[in-house]
Structures are given as C-alpha cells and as structure tokens.
Amino acid sequence: MSLCAAIFSFGFSIQYRTEPIPFFIFFSTLFVYTGQRLYKIWFNQIHKETPRVVWMKENLNLSKAILILAGIGLIISGFQLFNVAHIFIANFSVNTFLFRGIILVFSAFISVLYVVRIRKRNLRELPFIKIFLVVGVYVLLCCVLPFSSFDDVRWTSSDGHFLFELGMFVSVLFVFGIALLFDTSDIEVDPPDQKTIPQLIGVSRSIYLSAGLILPQVVMMLFTHRDNTFNVSILVIFMLFYIGFWTYKKTPMYINFCGEAMLAFVGLFNWFVL
C-alpha cells in the first residue's frame, strides 16, 4: 500500500507540475500503517485477526524494525519536504513551511486518534466517519502536500485541458472509490455499530458504488489522451482489467490487490505518458 500511494502521489505531481514527494509518502504511509497495527496488537484492540495481523504477531521483532526504519526514512524525507537547509538562506518561504506544517499536524493528529482511544473509542470506531477520515488524510498528503503554498493551488494540468479544481475533485472521487473497496474487505473485522458504508448498503452495492466513483478518473484520462493511440490503448487494457474486476469472485485479498493496483496504475500512467 505504501508503494502504491507513493506512485499515485508522484503521478499526480507530474500531472500538475508540483514538487514530487514519493519518498515522504512511502515512509509516512509505511510508518503510520505499521505503527497503528502494532499499537492495536499491544493494546488488544484487534477485533478479528487478519493474515497481516497474524504475520506481524509471528514476526514482532521484524515489524518493530520496519517501524524504526520507516521512522528514520520519514525524518530524512521530512527534512527535504520542508527544505530545512533553506531556513538560513534568503529563498526560504515561510508560506511553504506553514502550508505543509498545517497539513502534517492535522494528518498526524487524525492518524494518532484513529487508534488511540478517548473515552473507550477512537476515531476509527465512531459511526459513519471512518472512510471520510482515511480519504481526507490521503488526499491531503498525496495531492495537496506537493504544492508549496496556498497561492500555488490553482494550476492547470500539463496538457492544459483540466483545471486543478476539476482534477482534484476527480482524484477525491477516485481515492474515495479505492477506500470503499478496502472497506468492503474490512466488513468482517469492523464492529457492527461502526456503520461503515458496506455495513449499511451491503458489500455488492458498495463495490458497484466504488466502480462509479473510480470511473470519472478513467473518463478524464481517456479524454485527455484521446489523440494518442498508444495511450488510449493502454487505457483500454486498464478498462478491461477494471471491468473484469467487477465480474470476478471478490475475495478480500483480491479486492485489496485490485484496489492497490488501480491506485498505482493511475500514478504510473500520469508519470510515463504526460
């Protein structure tokens, strides 16, 4: 998941000519995911053991080592993110520091309270809001953080067809659709009173809703590259894969693989063809 998020963020940065931060996205995602699972293991917050949790329990020392290495990578890439070396020279931007600082403080706050319980519940366990927290943090980190200040968040894509606002809206729908896929695979481990979308409308309807949310991203990519036969061919192959997903038996492992593959594909496509 960490690698796929980093690729998606890098592709978004290439598309909108912002500063690519794939290493920060990779290490921050790896650190948060590993840290949250270890915290839940240590404090007995696991409702039902998944294969990943079982693996972490059986390889606890290795999991701790991954957390430490991810933390080191996060610190190093964080220095680059904030251009710390520029603090002492004339071209340091206070706006960049504040802009990225606000995003990171908010994201860190949500990530901690996502697993740390206050009055017997954490944010993840509150009804209705789990997916909105996940999507909000992912969009902030992968799509907004690469901009250097509030003034820069009005770019057009490199082909000039789409304003940033439209691209951001489609990206939010896309990330929401991917997160909804992951939610369907969590339905067996989420408590019934959590009231996630799959619990409310069912797994099958949630998967088809996810398809509708992902589709605008595919349509926008097709429209942008409609004059390039090679690019359109690649997209057609992706669409066949995309359609095939919704006609195949949907096990949790298969759902997670396809969700991560779609996230990485969009990033790779924007990376190599723009």
Q: Which domain range does residue 113 map to? A: 2-273
Give exposure, 242-261, as e/b (b: 16+ Cβ within 10 Å).
beebeeeebebeebbebbbe
> Which pLDDT band, with edges at 50, 70 and 90, does 124 fall under?
confident
- Rounded to whole angstroms, what are the CA distances from 117 to 104, 111, 123, 194, 213? 21, 12, 8, 14, 31
Return d(Cα 113, Cα 63) in angstroms, integer: 21
pLDDT digits (tens, 9 = 90+) for 159-190: 444 566 777 888 899 999 989 888 887 887 77
Q: DSSP letter string over 200-259? A: HH-HHHHHHHHHHHHHHHHHHHHHHTTT-HHHHHHHHHHHHHHHHHTTS---HHHHHHHH
Return d(Cα 261, Cα 263) in angstroms, integer: 5
Return d(Cα 123, Cα 59) in angstroms, integer: 27
Return d(Cα 124, Cα 116) in angstroms, integer: 9
At residue 54, the pLDDT reads 84
Of the listed ranges 123-127, 157-161, 210-214, 226-230, the least confidently predicted one is: 157-161
pLDDT digits (tens, 9 = 90+) for 71-107: 999 998 888 777 654 444 444 456 677 778 888 899 9
Output phi, psi for 118, to 5 deg: -120, 120
At residue 72, the pLDDT reads 94
Task: Please check the confidence at residue 152 and state whether its pLDDT lies above 60.
Answer: no
At residue 85, the pLDDT reads 45
How many domains are contained in the chain?
A: 1
> Which pLDDT band, with edges at 50, 70 and 90, does 154 fall under?
very low
Q: Which two tokens stand for residue 85?
A: 């070396």
In single-letter form, the type of residue at position 240 comes to L
Contact 43/177 with Cβ under 8 angstroms?
no
Return d(Cα 198, Cα 209) in angstroms, integer: 10
Indicate yes or no: pTM above 0.75: yes
Cβ-based neighbour number of residue 183 at 10 Å: 24
